[in-house]
Amino acid sequence: MKLHREGTPTLLLVAAVVCFGSFALLKWPVLHPILSILIGGALVVVLGIVVWFFRVPTRIWENDDTAIVSPCDGKVVVIEEVQEPEYFNDKRRQISIFMSPVNVHINYYPISGTDTYTKYHPGKYLVAWHPKSSTENERSTVVTKHPRYGEVLFRQIAGALARRICTYAQVGKPAQQGSEFGFIKFGSRVDLLLPLDAKVEVIIGQKVVGAQTIIARFKP
């Protein structure tokens, strides 16, 4: 199984703690043997969870010009019309996807085109499904311009557990639908801000897969 490069420091730290803890349990057997076994097992489970969190699945996507694909794994928690204040300053269709700690946390380009805007915002760490998390939490905004259908904004939002947002998008850089543009460590969410005339293909509560599920389609 391939692991994401963003996980290297965390994996090394956790592996070191597990190794030291296991060594200590064997070297200094001051606890009851059964308790030592349980603690050792728990350490191994923690390492397994961290390894699973940073997994990189193999996903193949053929470019679909009219499609807006999911930027992440997770569950659709918001579909509504909103006033977008950061970039468009007009009404947009917002679709928000909540990512739990067990989801793949790679973020994928929903469309192909060129990156026209990126901005990081420091902020709070409200739970990711909180309505104000889109505007008050730590977040990173990216806008990609499709050569035919115009611009789509997508925003990585930190949650209560997330403490690092990684964004690889750069203004002027080509974007390929389904390719990686970022990563968020631990529970979080991603917002999509789409044109009002885009045809939404998902419903509230639906589970989606990054670079696989079609979220909406541009109006022809």
The 10s digit of each residue's pLDDT in 37-78 is 777 788 888 888 777 777 888 888 888 999 999 999 999 999
The model's pLDDT over 96-152, given as tens digits with 9 standing for 90+, comes to: 999 988 888 899 999 999 999 999 998 666 665 555 556 667 889 999 999 999 999
pTM: 0.85
Catalytic residues: 188
Q: What is the pLDDT of residue 194?
A: 97
Above 90 in pLDDT, residue 169? yes
Task: Check if the beta carbon of residue 71 is closer than 8 Å to that of residue 103.
Answer: no
Say which residues have a Cβ less than 8 Å from residue 135's Cβ, sequence separation at least 6: 85
Please report which confidence band the pLDDT of residue 11 belongs to, taking 50, 70 and 90 as the band edges. confident
- Residues facing 155 on adjacent strands: 141, 191
- Helices assigned H by DSSP within 105-156: 133-136
pLDDT of residue 12: 82
- Output b/e per residue, 125-150; b: 16+ Cβ within 10 A: bbebeeeebbeebbbbbbbbbbeebe
Percent of the chain with pLDDT over 70: 87
Q: Phi/psi of residue 11, each to 5°?
A: -65, -40
